[in-house]
Structure 1
Amino acid sequence: MPELYKTKAEFFRMLGHPIRIRVLELLQDGPTPVRDLLAALDIEPSSLSQQLAVLRRSGIVTATRQGSTVMYALAGGDVADLLRAARRILTELLSDQGVLLAELRATSEQAGHGP
């Protein structure tokens, strides 16, 4: 198998965790301090730290320190485009599954993004 396909598969595996997906959605609104991510996710700080480390290592998010606050941001706009495309694809695929579609729409509205 060509290395390109292995690299692409690794990229999608990196995205394959619900907390990481939610963090990326939250970061679409701009740089966000860790305390705000923790409040939005309602998870243990150690769990968030672990997931942020995976995203940082992949290069998909950046971290900067502002005083005692660590701010996280998307490394580029392409990630937001990918998340919007995934949302559109899922909306279409789930159109027959009302409960999941309602949940998808609700999380999109909470994040301040359209379907």
Structure 2
Amino acid sequence: MQPPLYERKAEFFRILGHPVRIRVLELLGDGPRQVRELLDEIAVEPSNLSHQLGVLRRAGIVVSTRDGTAVVYALAGPDVADLMRAARRILTEMIKGQSSLLDALRQPTGDEPVAV
């Protein structure tokens, strides 16, 4: 029996739930990259990057090819780049909401004691 769709979605988001994986997906959203290029952009040990790329590859989120001796990674499809852009928009709106709340908290309400 197949797990319910909501469980599959939760698993998908769990796979995305690592900062290095998110950064890899953001970088690959601009196009395929060699592992060396990814290492230049992400401050992690090569073994950590390799592990995170393996997780994304096994999940079918990225694909890899060989270009001579270099391994090149790319997004498996454009939807993941769309998801990363959507996450950016959602976070922007969340921060805007927090900024509005902060502005409201900074406004005097008349019930604060007056400093003398």
Please, what TM-score do these two structures have when normalized by structure 1?
A: 0.81
Corresponding position: 1:68 with 2:69: yes
2:30 maps to 29
2:18 maps to 17
CA distance in 2, matches of 1:24, 1:18: 10
Q: In the TM superposition, what is the alpha-carbon distance from 1:97 to its structure 2 partner?
A: 5.2
1:78 maps to 79
Q: For 2:63, what is the secondary structure of its paired residue?
A: strand
Identity of aligned residues (%): 68
- Which has the higher Rg, Structure 1 or Structure 2? 2
Gaps of 5+ in 2: 100-116
Deviation string for 1:45-67 (max 9, x for gaps)? 00000000000011000000011
Q: In the TM superposition, what is the alpha-carbon distance from 1:5 to its structure 2 partner?
A: 1.2
Map 1:1-115 to 2 at 5 A: 3-96=4-97
Question: What is the count of residue pairs matched by the alignment?
Answer: 97
Please, what TM-score do these two structures have when normalized by structure 2?
A: 0.80
Q: In the TM superposition, what is the alpha-carbon distance from 1:42 to its structure 2 partner?
A: 1.7
The runs of 4+ residues in structure 1 deviating greater than 2 Å are none
Gaps of 5+ in 1: 99-115
